[in-house]
Chain A
């Protein structure tokens, strides 16, 4: 009896979720791709673009390969290009110092040299310090890009939302809610 009730309940649950022939847990209407939003008339495309952005894990991954990625996403091109130049210079110096050390100096590793700086010769010391500095700038520019880029994006989004929502409330205009005329009742949607 309990098993029968369990399977009946499971069947009812799936029946309420199914709106198509496929099993569809997160229901998405076919017309969502061209569901046009009600926008303020004065909004520019740049503002719309910034509002529709969101900071995700894949942006952190992309930012590792493309310096300044998050700042370009937030439409902050100056800092983006500055990060690009800084990262590229540091990569270039690191590569140059690495090649120079392999050609001219001993075969000891970079991390060994870092730990034993006092016992090194002057050339080797400068070499390791420059390489360490280049690595530090690369890492710090990446972190700056993510943290500061996210901050800039959120600040711009908040400013745009504040502006248009306050203007709408000051104009005493009625803005209807998108879902105000829909009621869900088990497997049905009632429109009124």
Chain B
């Protein structure tokens, strides 16, 4: 990871978008491998995510930059003392402000004080926030979170994540997903759920489409 950090520092300072874009694939491999070091307190990890989000910001992919910063703040050690990371987070929020719900601004202020019981809750919270960023680019990140959750914690995913997975596998649009997947679904503590529970409030056409796709 250390050569990756040093390399990111060098290319971000050069501000050459071609080289930054070329390195994104390698940096994402490193970021995905860090998932399994969740809850570790390491300065290298926080600096890596900060540099990766900076490179996304330079490429004008503000939603992915926001995701990496949130990933670092929620899953790993929170570097709230670092002024530059706060500034970058605010800039990313301003750039993606059209797509975020109003409640997110309240959550952002309380990120430093949120207490989680276990790391599964952290992953669930990160999933809910990335969903409400509401962009196509974060779709593969959400899928990665679900696969990591199932492998690492060896338990069923939360209600909101399962509902999103169901809608996504049926090929539902992002617009309709945001219409029928609400904050209450992510706050639902139900662990033993069925397909009927997941499709409770949906219209009949959508239900049939999902069930036909899944069978």
Q: Which residues of A contact B (CB under 8 A)?
A: 42, 44, 155-156, 159-160, 162-163, 166-168, 170-171
Contacts and interface: CB of A to CB of B under 8 A. Distances in A.
Contact of B25 (A44, A155, A156, A168): A44
Interface stretch (B2-10, B75-83, B192-200): B2-10
- Measured as residues with beta carbon below 8 angstroms from the partner, the interface class of chain B is 10 to 19
Nearest to A156: B22
B147 interface: no
B3 A170 contact: yes
Given A42-B29, A171-B2, A171-B3, A166 B10 contact: yes
13 contacts: A44-B25, A159-B19, A159-B22, A160-B22, A163-B23, A166-B7, A166-B10, A167-B3, A167-B4, A168-B3, A170-B2, A170-B7, A171-B3
B18 A159 contact: yes
B26 interface: yes
Contacts of B25: 44
A25 B113 CA distance: 75
Contacts of A155: 18
A170 B18 CA distance: 20
Contacts of A160: 22
A49 B91 CA distance: 38
Contacts of B29: 42
A163 B3 contact: no
A163 B7 contact: yes
Nearest to A172: B3
A92 B23 CA distance: 42
Given A42-B26, A167-B4, 17 more contacts: A42-B29, A44-B25, A159-B18, A159-B19, A159-B22, A160-B22, A162-B19, A163-B7, A163-B22, A163-B26, A166-B7, A168-B3, A170-B2, A170-B3, A170-B6, A171-B2, A171-B3
